Amino acid sequence: MKQLFTTTSLKTVLIVSALFFSTAYDASASSYPARLGAKLGNSIANAATGIVEIPKTIMVANREHGPAYAATAGLVTGMVHMIGRTLSGAYDLVTFMVPTKPIVTPDYVWEDFDKETSYRSTWQLR
């Protein structure tokens, strides 16, 4: 039996759908369906793009501390942030029916690309 989706095509579908959901819904909207859509889009985007945390963190570390630090601690920190963003996205995907803000800040990896990722200490409703 032929495989319906390859790994590459599945990743492409996930990224395109994440971008669609993240732009189709306004995160500041007051309606419940819009907040659910915003969280769903954010969760898919974060789960799919967590790998981007590695080069992002290396670039930020290089700018702030130099290339030796970026190649060592920046790489390890980037891997930690990759795991954090991916798991946060997966958690938000499972719990998208409760419209909370993402634990990871910035909300998307491509926002504030010059700023290192951080994590909220408390849950906040959208």
What are the pLDDT digits (tens) for 8-40?
665 665 566 555 555 444 556 678 888 888 899
Question: Is residue 125, in this structure, part of any structural domain at all?
Answer: no
State the pLDDT at residue 25. 42
Question: Is residue 37, in this structure, part of any structural domain at all?
Answer: yes
State the pLDDT at residue 8. 64
**How many Cβ atoms sit within 10 Å of the Cβ of residue 28?**
9
How many domains does the structure of the chain reveal? 1
Question: Is residue 13, in this structure, part of any structural domain at all?
Answer: yes
- CA–CA distance, 92 with 100 (Å, rounded to integer): 8
* 92 — pLDDT class (breaks 50, 70, 90): very high
User: Which range marks the domain in which residue 79 is found?
Assistant: 7-119
Question: Is residue 35, in this structure, part of any structural domain at all?
Answer: yes
- CA–CA distance, 105 with 87 (Å, rounded to integer): 14
State the pLDDT at residue 30. 78
Question: Is residue 124, in this structure, part of any structural domain at all?
Answer: no
Question: Is residue 2, in this structure, part of any structural domain at all?
Answer: no
- CA–CA distance, 92 with 104 (Å, rounded to integer): 11
Question: Is residue 84, in this structure, part of any structural domain at all?
Answer: yes
